[in-house]
């Protein structure tokens, strides 16, 4: 169902953003 796909995409995007945010934060602290 399109709705399920959209939800998964949103969760994936949020996870990726959080992942990159952690990396950027690590470099910033270094």
**To the nearest whole percent, how much of the chain has pLDDT over 70?**
77
Alpha carbon separation from 2 to 6, 13, 14, 28 (Å, rounded): 6, 16, 18, 38
Per-residue b or e along 1-30, where b marks 16 or more CB atoms closer than 10 Å to that residue's CB: eeeeeeeeeeeeeeeeeeeeeeeeeeeeee
- What is the separation, in whole angstroms, between the first and last Cα of the chain? 44
| Per-residue pLDDT tens over the stretch 4-13 | 667 777 778 8
Structure confidence at residue 3 (pLDDT): 56
- State residue 13's pLDDT score: 80
Q: With bands split at pLDDT 50, 70 and 90, how would you rate the model's confidence at 22? A: very high
- For 6, 7, 10, 23, 27, the CA distances from 19, given in Å and listed in that order, are 20, 18, 14, 6, 13
């Amino acid at each position: 169902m399109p709705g399920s796909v959209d939800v998964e995409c949103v969760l994936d995007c949020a996870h990726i953003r959080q992942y990159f945010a952690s990396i950027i934060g690590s470099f910033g602290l270094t």
